[in-house]
Amino acid sequence: MSGKRIAVCPGTYDPVTKGHIDIIERASRVFEEVIVGVSVGSTKKSPMFSADERMGFVRDACAHLPNIRVEAFNSLIIQFARDLGASALVKGLRAISDFDYEFQMAQINKHLAPDIETVYFPASANFSFISSSGVKEIAVWGGNVEAWVPANVVDAFARRAATEKE
C-alpha cells in the first residue's frame, strides 16, 4: 500500500444524488484521494442508467474536487480497493437500516481484507431521506427531483422522458 491515504467510496450511483455528493465531499477533506467506485456488475436489480452515464454524472458533480477520481469496477469491492492501494472504504449511513446492512458488509470485508478499514459518514440532515431508488420513482412519474440530484441528472431524466414519449 502507498503512503498516501486513499479511500474508495463504492456504489451503483443510479443515479448519483446530492446525498452521495455530500459524502464524497466530506471524504475528500479527510483522505488525500477518494476514488468513487461505480459498480458495473451487481447481484442487485439492473440499473436505469448505463455505467458510462453514471460515471459521467459523478464526474460532472465532483468536478470541483481535485482529489476525486471516478472508476468503474466489476469485482469484489475489497479487491478493487486493494488494487488501487486504498486503505479505507467510505460509506454513507442514512438510517439504522443502512447501518444494519453496512455493518454486516464491513464484517465480511474485514475478514477478506483485514488491512482495509470501513469508515462511515452519517448523512447530513437535509439529505438523510434521499435514495436513488426514491428519486427514480419520483422522476419516472414526472415529479420534480431538482432538489435531490445534480442538474446533469435532472437533464438525463428529462431526455429519457422525452424519448419514451416519442
The full length of the chain comes to 166
CA proximity to 14, closest of 58, 44, 54: 54
Q: Has 110 been annotated as catalytic?
A: no
Cell numbers representing residue 145 in the block: 427531483
Which residue among the candidates 18, 20, 82, 91 is catalytic per the annotation?
20
CA proximity to 109, closest of 84, 132, 87, 85: 87
Burial 43-63 (b: 16+ CB within 10 A, else e): eeeebbbebebbbbbbbebbe
Q: Has 45 been annotated as catalytic?
A: no
Which residue among the candidates 44, 45, 111, 165 is catalytic per the annotation?
44
Which residue among the candidates 28, 39, 87, 132 is catalytic per the annotation?
132
Residue 125, judged by CB atoms within 10 A of its CB (0-12, 13-18, 19+), counts as exposed
Largest Cα–Cα separation, the chain: 54
Q: Has 50 been annotated as catalytic?
A: no
For Cα atoms 34, 135, 45, give the angle at the middle one, nearest 5 degrees. Answer: 75
Which residue among the candidates 5, 26, 59, 94 is catalytic per the annotation?
94
Q: Has 165 been annotated as catalytic?
A: no
Catalytic sites, residue numbers: 20, 44, 94, 132
